[in-house]
Chains A and B, each alone.
Chain A
Amino acid sequence: MNESFKRGAAEGFRAFLPLSVGLIPWAVVTGVAMRSIGLSPLEAMGMNVIVFAGTAQLGTLPLIAAGAPLWLIVLTALVLNLRFVIFSAALAPAFAGYPKRHRLLSSYLLVDGVFAILSERILKSQDAHWRWGCYIAPSVWCWVLWQVFALVGVLGAGVLPADWSLEFMATIALMVMLVPMSATRPMLVAALAGGLGAVLLRGMPLKLGLIAGIVIGIAAGFAAEHWQQRKEPT
């Protein structure tokens, strides 16, 4: 193995390790939530490997449980994953010269935490081996952690009583992601408008109220950002 790959891997792993511990409750809760809507252990772990995106998994579970139409489930997953388009665009220059299979693997493994902690260092480095090590080591670690602790949740869910309202764990998990996200004014506006829009438009056919609410939320957040910038020009 290449020396600078190893150095990159060590640095990436060290930087990501503390944050990755915070993933453990997510993974366990996602495991429990997948079982709580009636997925078998095999189906739950299948979803965990195929989808490998906590927000999209937790967000689509209530729709799968309710028997929502496939297009709505996929559209919701797509919206919940849209942030990755931004991450992908930001990271693409760092991987531009890599073989196709490297780029496929790094796409499948791209998660918020690794991007947040390491994207700056990876984009700054001129050494392609170092960049790959720094990205792939924490990303694989994150994947392993996610699968192992989801399995703990999947197997643990079976021993918990059915009338404990465990499906609410998924809602709590979505809130735990949402709350820190809403720290800035426009983000909070986007969240409130999106949520209230979905509540008020719940009567729309085909559960279109959910998509309408999301569109309203994005528009409101964007408008709030413009309004804030006009008020206090930077």
Chain B
Amino acid sequence: MSEGIWLWLTLAAIGSTTILTRGSFIIPGERARLPATLQRALRYAPAAALAALVMPDVLLVGGELDPLNPKLAAAVVVILACTRFRNPWLPFIAGMGVLLLLRKGLGLP
């Protein structure tokens, strides 16, 4: 991990993407429009990006595919908690509960 000034520069660089995207049309102040096709394609960016971050984390153990690992079990429970119940805390409690039970209770990696 980067330290000190480099970390702050990294944070500033990440922050610049926030203001660049949010301000992209508001700051210029003109009644500009995004091409419709691009707008439709961009709608898929967040879902694709979130899945591209989540799936390697829950499917891989040490860089190898492992379909029977505690994180994947926890992920399945999180999906069930999100789809079946409305409580915003439940996915965190249930997911962490399953992960800790399997790791601490059963000693899985």
Q: Which of A47, A64, A106, A175 contacts B54 (CB 8 A)?
A: A175
Q: Which of B18, B33, B92 contacts A89 (CB 8 A)?
A: B33
Q: How far is the CA of A168 from the CA of B69 in the complex (A)?
A: 13
Question: C-beta contact mask, B45-86 vs A, less than 8 Å → 1, else 0?
Answer: 111111111111111100101000001001100110011000
Q: How many residues of B contact A (CB 8 A)?
A: 70
Question: Interface residues, chain A, CB within 8 Å of chain B?
Answer: 21-22, 24-25, 29, 37-39, 43, 46-47, 50-53, 55-57, 59-60, 62, 64-67, 70, 73-74, 76-89, 91-93, 95-98, 100, 103-104, 106-108, 110, 164-166, 168-169, 171-182, 186-187, 190-199, 202, 210, 213-218, 220-222, 225
Closest chain-A Cβ to B89's Cβ sits at a distance in Å of 5
Residues of A within 8 A of B21 (CB): 78, 81-85, 88
By a beta-carbon cutoff of 8 Å, the part of chain B in contact with chain A is 1-2, 7-34, 39-60, 63, 65, 71, 74-75, 78-79, 82-83, 88-89, 91-92, 95-96, 99-100, 103
Query: CB-nearest residue of chain A relative to B45?
Result: A82
> Contacts A73-B13, A88-B26, A190-B44 hold; do A93 and B54 have CB atoms under 8 A apart?
no
Interface majority SS (helix, strand, loop, mixed), chain A: helix
Q: Is the CB of B54 within 8 A of A174?
A: yes
Which 7 pairs from chain A and chain B are nearest by CB? A217-B48, A195-B55, A194-B48, A107-B23, A221-B44, A195-B51, A198-B52
